[in-house]
Amino acid sequence: MSQQQIDQLFGYVQERCLWQFHSRSWDRQENIDGIISTATDLLHGQQPKKHAPMDRMFYADAKAMVDDLKVRFPWILDLEPTRVTELMAGLKSKLVDQTITQSLNRELHDKLY
């Protein structure tokens, strides 16, 4: 796993995935956590939980993303499970940093919004 690989996945998510741009920071965090966790399970060949409606929503977004990642970035299929986990953790960290922590959108953290 390299920074270049994280950057490639980050670029893909920034370009193709709207779930990272919800209007409140807690929404963004919830989506990033749920979808990245579910995508990690899928990349490990595990069946993610799909009990609650939110689980099914995360699954739908993660499934589409993982299917596309496998086509666009075939190197992801050759990674060991620990590397996949590290890669997805790096992606999650970068997403949180860019879309929540460093966001200039003041409404994200407005308690009355």
Total number of domains constituting the chain: 1
Q: What gap in Å lies between CA 94 and CA 100, rounded to an integer? A: 10
pLDDT of residue 107 exceeding 90, the answer is: no
The Cβ of residue 3 has, within 10 Å, a number of other Cβ atoms equal to 10
Q: What gap in Å lies between CA 113 and CA 103, rounded to an integer? A: 16
What's the mean pLDDT in 41-53? 93
Per-residue DSSP letter, 101: I
Task: Give residue 1's pLDDT.
Answer: 62
- The answer to whether residue 112 sits within a structural domain is no
- The answer to whether residue 109 sits within a structural domain is no
- The answer to whether residue 53 sits within a structural domain is yes
- The answer to whether residue 107 sits within a structural domain is no
Is residue 48 within 8 Å of residue 38, measured between CB atoms? Answer: yes
Residues spanned by the domain of 27? 3-102
- The answer to whether residue 45 sits within a structural domain is yes
What's the mean pLDDT in 22-28? 84
Per-residue model confidence as pLDDT tens digits over 65-105: 999 999 999 999 999 999 999 999 999 999 999 999 988 88
The Cβ of residue 99 has, within 10 Å, a number of other Cβ atoms equal to 21
Task: Give residue 60's pLDDT.
Answer: 95
Task: Give residue 49's pLDDT.
Answer: 87
Helix residue ranges per DSSP H, 1-113: 3-16, 25-43, 53-72, 81-96
Q: pTM of the entire structure?
A: 0.90
- The answer to whether residue 108 sits within a structural domain is no
Task: Give residue 6's pLDDT.
Answer: 96
